[in-house]
Amino acid sequence: MDGAEVLIPITIFAGGFAMIFGIVYLKSRENLAMVEKGMNPKDRLNRPAPFRSLKWGLLLLGAGLGLLIAFFVDMNLPYRIEPVGIYFALIAMGGGLGLIGSYFVEKKSWYDKINGGSEL
């Protein structure tokens, strides 16, 4: 190993250590800030997530529809190629559209809850 090749393992280990140290440091700072405000840091894990099922359902529905559309596109192509890119792209696009739909449903629900139904 000559020259720059020696720096690669050193950089990988130093970067990994810095990342783990940063995560632990920021987590402890967050916990200390919660204690200063009179909150219990362990209660943060038990917060209700009312739209979790909706988000996962729409994500999987969108990914399934993307997979179905990719299958139909693959079957109707006039020439035979490997359509792996079409499958991955349409699954990702369908899942993304599902998450966007979940966002709008959650947003409308929060506006209805806060403002009594009138959007800004």
pLDDT, one tens digit per residue, over 42-70 is 876 666 677 888 888 999 999 999 999 98
Domain stops at, among 13, 28, 43: 43
Domains identified in the chain, total number: 2
pTM reported for the whole predicted model: 0.56
Same domain, 14 and 53: no
- Residues 34 and 44: beta-carbon distance below 8 Å: yes
72 & 107 share domain: yes
Stronger pLDDT, 79 or 60, i.e. the higher one: 60
| Domain membership flag for residue 95 | yes
Q: Identify whether residues 62 and 82 lie together within a single domain.
A: yes
Q: How far apart are CA 46 and CA 108, in angstroms?
A: 24
d(CA 120, CA 107): 12
Residues 6+ apart with CB under 8 A from 34: 40, 41, 44
Q: Are residues 39 and 53 in the same domain?
A: no
User: Structural domain of residue 66, as residue ranges?
Assistant: 49-115
Same domain for 73 and 37?
no
Structural contact between residues 63 and 95, judged by C-beta atoms closer than 8 angstroms: yes
